[in-house]
Amino acid sequence: MTTLNIHLLFISLRDDHSFGTLSVTAQVTLPASFWAYPTKTPFLPAGPIALPSTEIISSVPMQKIRLVHETDRTHLDKDFIALLESANAGLEEWTPELVGEGEGGTYFMRNLKGDIVGVFKPEDEDPQSPSNPKKNKKVRDEDGDDRDEDRDDDSDESQEKLRTTIPLGTTALREVAAYRLDRGLAGVPVTVLVEVDDWRENGKKKIGSFQKFVPKGAASWDLGPSKYSIADTHKIGILDLRMHNTDRHGGNMLAVALPQKGIEGNTHGLVPIDHGYCFPTSMSEGSFEWFYWPQAKKPFSSEMLEYIQKIDVEEDQRLLKSVGIVEEEALRVNKIATLALKAGAKAGLNLYQIACICSRKVPDALSPLELACGQVEEQMKQKGISSFEEEYWSLLNAKLSELLKPMH
Ligand SMILES: Nc1ncnc2c1ncn2[C@@H]1O[C@H](COP(=O)(O)OP(=O)(O)O)[C@@H](O)[C@H]1O
Ligand SMILES: [Mg+2]
């Protein structure tokens, strides 16, 4: 028990500006438990503290997985941070496992319960990298013997995978750039750049992209185009043109069953994944599975047309730079492709028609858009201007409105 003497002094101000005072002394007796309250935080209420809603607070310390760009978390919500934490906790029990599908190092990560929650793709294990674990993977031949499958050979498969327009070691940040550029339109799953400590218990660190796992997704080419809506196809198409995706085959769109049939008879939604081969340094390798789908020849809806016209090209450039797309040529490809998309949509062209202009029909013949860019560069040369400043863009815009005319 503690006894305290409290002295109170009341001061009153009278109308004639003179003072009156009253002094009171009170005695308070406190129980011993009062002092048991932690002295460092005597004014904290019990329970969680309310924080500003924009702040994302990690309740569990990230021991093994850390966001690489930790300062920029504004686009991440609490659910995703919780998911990242659950993968972090899961590393205590589960070793990330190499996925069978695909050509490079892609690993599933689980939570403590064992559910797959995330997909980790190390920046040094993409299909073209010397550290690609599938590069010399063991395959079983017809006689039942294990042999090394060497993907450095001259087979069509290995040739097909070589990309000259994607700088080595940059696929992870390109995955993140695709998610950020999409801004939720086509539904690229949340993707961030992370660093993982003690990678597969070898004591080393790995940097790579971490993407939210999409449960029950089948490769879209296993089902066929009639299962998907026009809107889903157009959304992925718009994204692919802006990124000049060089790897949009049917395995890189996941088909997820809808709770009920859509009005077009569509039964599945589409989720775009695998964007390491986007934002190339030239427009020579674009490859779009949806190009062959009937949906691509349907006109854009008014919402899609409005979306396309509202795309802020300069804002996109800033965003891409901020996530690490640094090659001037890659940034230029994004800007040219987006301007072409806008001009094409404005002229009433459909996705298929715009894609015909923006991509090569055969690998060795330049696309109409590449030819147009070449002509603009020639004009610049004649004028003695060598940089890609304003003049280039106004000449290009003039060229695009010539090239992307209404078709009947
Ligand atoms: N976010 C995801 N959700 C569900 N499965 C995924 C996801 N990302 C990748 N996968 C699975 O992993 C496979 C390989 O991943 P992918 O990103 O396509 O890598 P690669 O560059 O090797 O082709 C995919 O074909 C798919 O089966
Ligand atoms: Mg893939």
Taking only the tens place, the pLDDT of each residue in 300-323 is 999 999 999 999 999 999 999 999
Atom index in ligand 1 nearest the CA of residue 99 equals 12
With respect to residue 40, please indicate whether it lies within any of the assigned structural domains: no
Instruction: Mark whether 278 and 329 lie in a shared domain.
Output: yes
Atom index in ligand 1 nearest the CA of residue 214 equals 3
The span from the CA of 15 to the CA of 17, in Å, is 5
Instruction: Mark whether 270 and 332 lie in a shared domain.
Output: yes
Instruction: Mark whether 158 and 187 lie in a shared domain.
Output: yes
Instruction: Mark whether 254 and 169 lie in a shared domain.
Output: no
Q: Kindly report which listed range (154-158, 164-168, 177-181) carries the lowest average pLDDT score.
A: 154-158
Instruction: Mark whether 228 and 371 lie in a shared domain.
Output: yes
Total residue count of the chain as it appears in this document: 408
* Listed residues 155, 181, 213: the one ending a domain: 213
Cα dist from 405 to 97, 305, 334, whole Å: 50, 16, 21
With respect to residue 79, please indicate whether it lies within any of the assigned structural domains: yes
Residue 60 is given by DSSP the state: S
Distance 227 CA to ligand 2 centre (A): 20
Other CB atoms within a 10 A radius of the CB of residue 6 amount to 9
Strand segments, DSSP code E, in 123-161 are 138-140, 146-148
Q: Which domain holds residue 241?
A: 220-408
Digit-coded pLDDT (tens) for 263-279? 999 999 999 999 999 99
Contacts of 198 (CB under 8 A, 6+ apart): 64, 204, 205
* Listed residues 190, 213, 236: the one ending a domain: 213
Instruction: Mark whether 27 and 176 lie in a shared domain.
Output: no
With respect to residue 250, please indicate whether it lies within any of the assigned structural domains: yes
Atom index in ligand 1 nearest the CA of residue 103 equals 22
The model scores a pTM over 0.95: no
Look at residue 161 and tell me whether its pLDDT is greater than 90: no
For residue 190, the ligand closest to its alpha carbon is 1
What pLDDT was estimated at residue 62? 60
For residue 171, the ligand closest to its alpha carbon is 1
Instruction: Mark whether 274 and 291 lie in a shared domain.
Output: yes
Mean pLDDT score across all residues of the chain? 83
Instruction: Mark whether 96 and 113 lie in a shared domain.
Output: yes
* Of 179, 181, 78, 172, residue with least CA distance to 120: 172
Overall domain count for the chain: 3
What pLDDT was estimated at residue 166? 95
Instruction: Mark whether 304 and 359 lie in a shared domain.
Output: yes
Helix (H) or strand (E) holding 334: helix 328-346
Instruction: Mark whether 282 and 300 lie in a shared domain.
Output: yes
Strand segments, DSSP code E, in 156-309 are 191-196, 206-212, 218-219, 253-257, 268-272
Comparing 62 with 380, which gets the higher pLDDT? 380
Instruction: Mark whether 163 and 253 lie in a shared domain.
Output: no
Q: Which residues line ligand 1 (CB under 6 A)?
A: 99, 101-104, 106, 119, 189, 211, 213-214, 217, 251-252, 254, 273-274, 276
